Every structure is written in structure tokens, then in C-alpha cells.
Amino acid sequence: MADAPSPRAGSAPQAPGPGGLALIGLASAGHFFNDGYGNVYPALVPLVAAQLGFGLVTGSLLITAVRMASSILQPLFGAAADRRPTPLLGPVALAAAAAATGALGLLPPAPLFVLLAILAGSANGAFHPPGLALVRGLAGRRPGRYTSLFLVGGTVGRALGPLLMVGAAALWGVRGVGALALPGLALAAVLARGAARSAPSSAPVEREGHGRATLALVRDRLGPLSLLLAIAVARGTVTSAVTTFWPLLHGRAVAQVAGSAGVIAVMMLTGSIGNVLGGSLSDRVPPHRLLAGAAAGAGLSLAAFALAGGAWMYVFAALAGLFAMSTNAVTTVLGQNLLPERVATASGLALGLGNALTAGVTALLAVSAALWGGTVALELAAAVAFTGLPAALAYPRLVRRHRLPIPAYGAASPGA
């Protein structure tokens, strides 16, 4: 995918044209498959744990390692996309994620399985920074709305990925997972063609000193960036805890994994609704108020989910997803606003590094799950979610204190 122009106030059109809308839709479809592959592992690992010799802690740490590989490299992929804009980075990453995920269904030996999973996770992460930068360049004066539409493709993919994997395993056995790679490979080819034809053109990038200049920008805005990452971690821990622990705690038979996948699907699908609502509202409402409210709602919902049973379990999973994922676009666009000169790098930091830190917190929670049980781990995750409330309320004051040249974000600036 191509790099996008910096989102400077006053220079962007009001809304994308038909070609831009079509490309945003195509990128969102690519995001659906990309993140669908990224969420196959939590459902696949319980099915193959016996063959590979994985227990609860080992399985949780493997899932965490895949997510960290997907996330921690995103700032580097973003910096590469800023320095050498190319329409092929996103599609190639999607194709690699599809191929590696399909290969996992062949049940290679445990070391190769782990390597393939980490390779797939790395490719999964490489898709996000150029995709987000592309959408920001096309979004005009509504970055929250169109970023949320791009992100909702990934959210729905994460919801349906485990269900599709379970369906393939039920029909054809675990080896049937390989068939899931085919639509992703096909869409990668379509996306490469569409991005090459329609992506916004990029200004020439000065290569010399580009990396040093990027590091200087990050250092200058490190305080607000760090607080924004803390908010992202507080939010992300909600969905990460559920998708990591729930399948491993509720059995390894196909039927049991299907039930766990259903809970995750409900959470992700309501999260997709929250994603669009939160992104659209953030173009009109001071974003830090949305962040604070979402942190409180997500923490309460996850705490109730950990103790619920029967139908209430699905209700609270839905609420947790709705609140937790309503601010995905908000933190991403605020991160881009902190580094308007390096949009792809900012996207990698806000989304990727935030997810990597979330994976680290989830790894610690995995140890608590092994020691004290899954309910305690989920309650601790709820406590982490609540930390996003004071962090969100402190964010605008920190931005004002740094006197940063941040462009307006819809009707409300980040420091509003």
C-alpha cells in the first residue's frame, strides 16, 4: 500500500471521492482476512495442544508470542512505509499471513509450528501501518469515521476467524485449515492492483537523516505518546485476556472450542459496532471523554463477564467488546496527530506497540491464570482496564503542557 500525505489541518478535502471510498473498502476487506488469520491461533492451539505437547501456560505464551511478533515490529514496518512508500507492502504482508496460517494446518513438528506462527504474526503486523496511513490520506476531515471503517474489517475478521477455523476442522480435520489461506491470497492480488492504481501519490522522501529525524520527533512527543500507549494497553487487555484464556480454559474438543469461539465472536462483532460508533463520535466529541467512558465501561463489563454464566456470559462479553473496541480508531488517530510528519510510523506505534505491550501484560496474566485460575486472571484484566480512565483524563493536559503542533481532530483537538 502506498504512503499517505501528512494529515495537516486545512489541507485535507472534506471527504474521499468514489475512488477513495472504494479503496478504503478494499483495504477494510484486506484487513478482515489479515486479522482473521491473526485470530485463528487461539482456537487452533487447543485442538493441537496434545499433539504438540502444549499445556495452559505454554499455549498462552505461544499465543502471546505470536501477538507480540505481530505488534512489536509494527513501528519498524511503519518507519519503512514512511521512508520507502510502496503499494505492495500491505498486499505482500496479507499473502504471507495467509500462506503461513494455511501451513499451520499441516501440523508440522512443534518447533516449526512455532516458527510458522511467529512468521504469520509478523506478516499480520506488517499490514497495519501502511493500511492505516493509506486510509488517513484518503479520509479528508473525517479521520475517525474512515479509520474506524478500516479497523472494523479487522474486528469482524477476528470475530469470524476462529469460527471459520472450527468449521474447517469439523468438516475436514485440522488439515482443512489450509483451505482458509485461499481467499486471502486472492484478495492480496486484488488489493495490490487497486492500491497501485488508486492510492494517493506521495511526495519524495528525503532519505538522508530520515531515521534520526523520526527518532527526534518521537523523543519530542514521548510524554503524550507514552500516555496514549497506556490508554491503548488498558483497553486492549480486555479483548486480549478473553481471546487468550477462554478457549484454553474451556476444553480441547471441537465442540468445546466452538463454544469458546462463539463467545469471542459475540465480543468482536459488538466490538465492530462500537468501533464505528466511537470513531464517528470522536470527529465531533473531545476524544479523551470517549476514552475515559470506554475504560470504565470495559472494566465493569469484563469484571461481570468473569463471574457470569449462561446467557449473561454472552451479554457481558458483548458489552466488554462494545466498550473496549469503541476507542480503537480514537487512539490510532490521536497517535497520527502526535506525529503528522510520520503517519505510518505513528500508526505502528499507536496500534502495534500498544498491542505488543498488551501482549506482555497478557503474558503476566497467563501466569496468574496458572496459579490462581482463569477467573482471577480476568478480574485482574478488568483492573488493568480501569487504569485507562485516569490516563484518558490526564491526556489533554499533557498535550497542552508540551505545546505540540497537533492539527485539529474533527471538531475537537486532542487537547480539547
User: Could you give the domains of the chain?
Assistant: 18-402 (1.20.1250.20)
pLDDT at 348: 85
Give the pLDDT band of residue 5 (cuts 50, 70, 90): very low
- Say if CB 385 and CB 237 are below 8 A apart: yes
pLDDT at 275: 86
pLDDT at 363: 82
pLDDT, average across residues 121-142: 83
pLDDT, average across residues 123-142: 83
Cell numbers 522522501 correspond to what residue? 205
pLDDT in tens, 374-401: 788 899 999 999 999 999 999 988 888 8
pLDDT at 152: 86
Cell of residue 412, nine digits: 475537537
- Which of the 8 DSSP states describes residue 10? T
Cell of residue 214, nine digits: 523520526
Per-residue b/e over 244-271, b at no fewer than 16 CB within 10 Å? bbbbbbeeeebeebbebbbbbbbbbbbb
Residue 9 has pLDDT above 70, yes or no: no
Mean pLDDT of the chain: 80
pLDDT at 408: 39
pLDDT in tens, 17-76: 667 788 888 889 999 999 888 778 767 777 777 677 776 667 767 777 777 777 778 888
pLDDT at 349: 86
What CA–CA distance (Å, rounded) separates 21 from 129? 19
Give the pLDDT band of residue 344 (cuts 50, 70, 90): confident
- Say if CB 203 and CB 31 are below 8 A apart: no
**Other C-beta atoms lying within 10 Å of the C-beta of residue 393:** 14
pLDDT at 410: 40
Q: Which of 64-78, 79-93, 124-138 has the highest mean pLDDT?
A: 124-138
What CA–CA distance (Å, rounded) separates 407 from 72? 27
pLDDT, average across residues 139-164: 82
pLDDT at 375: 82
Cell of residue 284, nine digits: 465531533
pLDDT at 296: 96
Q: Is the pTM here over 0.85, yes or no?
A: no
pLDDT at 4: 43
